[in-house]
Chains A and B, each alone.
Chain A
Amino acid sequence: MISPPVVSRLQQIVGKDNMLYEREDLLVLGYDSTPGIHLPPDVVVYPTTTEAVVALLQVARENGLPVTPRGSGTGLSGGSVAARGGMVMCLNRMKRILEIDEENLTATVEPGVVTLDLFNAADEKGLFYPPDPGSQKISTLGGNVMEDAGGLRGLKYGVTRDYVMALQCVLSDGDLLRTGGKNVKDVAGYAFKDLLVGSEGTLGIITEITVKLIPPPQAKRTFLAYFNDMRSAGAAVSRIIAAKIIPATMEIMDRATINCVEDYVKIGLPRQMAGLLLIEVDGHPAMVAEDAESVRRILEAVKAAEIHVARDADEAASLAAARRTALSALARVSPTTLLEDATVPRSRLAETFGEIERLTEKYRLTVGTFGHAGDGNLHPTVLCDERDADEMSRAHAFYDELYAQVLAWGGTVSGEHGIGMAKKGYLARQIGAGGVAVMQRIKNAFDPAGRLNPGKIFADATEQDDSHEE
């Protein structure tokens, strides 16, 4: 609980309309999109300026208050949930696009700008901001930077990290740190910017972001390829990569996902197919034509059941939009959707599908799998009911075994959703106790009192292997 004088100081800083502490408000800000995590904070503030963020962190320091930054709460690892109570700081009212610099090809924004809004603003100026997570209509750039979000175009264009050029960050004691700039090259000392990207709000609060923009591709072509089994879909991905073609997008959906998405979008996806790949090649028109031809030949060679080329840009856009709803659409089937973020080297894709199939049977589960196949980043999603303890424990066993295999193949436990609260137990398995210790020393250097987003990334002694069981 926070004492009344502290509450009134917070209110002085942000103003009455930018602070919430009624029980109902706290209850609905105790979750993000991660199932099974619900921990209401003690107070919620919506700063609208960097100065306010500084002042809020000073109050937090003086009173020992934990601070959990939050964007739109679409995170899938519990990152923006107040694990230790205290203050949730929502940055989504800082949503101005401050500048689009056409001479340097950069955009500078406040952290609460919605991803798609930046894309559109850049597009209006004939520029392109590629990162496009499935949640792009809702998620904020602050959240994207802190999770290093990927997206449908990650294969060719990379992830959020590849576009961040500068950050303004308020540290846990209220000091300001600016790192990076509009320089294309910059090796002045440690790369704090790169450390901050993907740090899940544990090192500082981001209040300004400068990203790189690029010229948009001149042409593109979109395909849907249908398969009678997931393994050949996986093989198609590996073969395309091996042929040294880098499409912008190679997204995969299995039958369960196709059906759920079709229930929602009703665009005539074939329900009986085992899987589909959404492939988009873009770039110079001549190269697009050539790549499209090579992709088609490979798809035929791996015996894709059918290949469909999008008629026009509208159809291509609606196919991508449909893919973006995959996770939410899977939630139609069952009360709880436990999603994972397993990522493997791309040569292992076909085997990974085999493994998922085997484990689905072994643990008698319903699983829908979709993901950024071109990145080797899959989201096997267990469709279950959190009220069924037995089913939940089988689901956890499924992930344990799957991750053991993924790690053995040199994969990672998180391709894009972060560790947060959900996957703390897995981190040491991937990077070793030594790796975790170095990370903790860095955390201490930035935030010695452990006030910023406590309870994330690092497992306490008591919570070694209990992922998902917060």
Chain B
Amino acid sequence: MSETALDAAFFVRWMTAAAAAVDREAERLTELDSAIGDADHGTNMQRGFAAVVKALTEGEAPATPGAVLTAAGRQLISSVGGAAGPLYGTLLRRAGKALGDAAQVSAEELRAGLSAGVDAVGQLGGSAPGDKTMLDALVPGVAALETSFEAAAAAAGDGAVATVPLQARKGRASYLGERSIGHEDPGAASSALLLAALAEVAA
């Protein structure tokens, strides 16, 4: 992976691109969530990322990559309203804390930080890959960051699609048992959007 140094502005662009992707795909996320969830993932994510962009672009923007992610995570926890809030909030906040107060971070440091965030998400939700959750996109996606941003986006997208034949073992979808099979997990789908947005701003 390249030696690019990523600054706070890059991270603000990432969050802004993620918000735009969530906006664009909100209807699809809600459609996926209406099959196996309570049909609010798109609107919840839209509300959360709108709050993130507002916090990052109105007034003084956080000065370091770590502070950008920590602020974004906090906004998601307080404004999403569903399980995605604490899960995505924990992902970004834990990654932000791992990045510390460096003014710039390398792609490898970003990968390590996100990896710590992914571990925290697994702990919070008591879940692992294969449970048909956001981890099925995040785990392969973040691992592929070792190669490139594009590889990460592709691996996360593949991971999301690979949730289709799985039976849900976590969250509301788990109550459906076998009826959860055959539908893409909405959380994995939105996680793929997050990594696609990262690749988009890194390109």
A and B physically associate: no
List the interface of chain A (C-beta within 8 A of B). none
List the interface of chain B (C-beta within 8 A of A). none
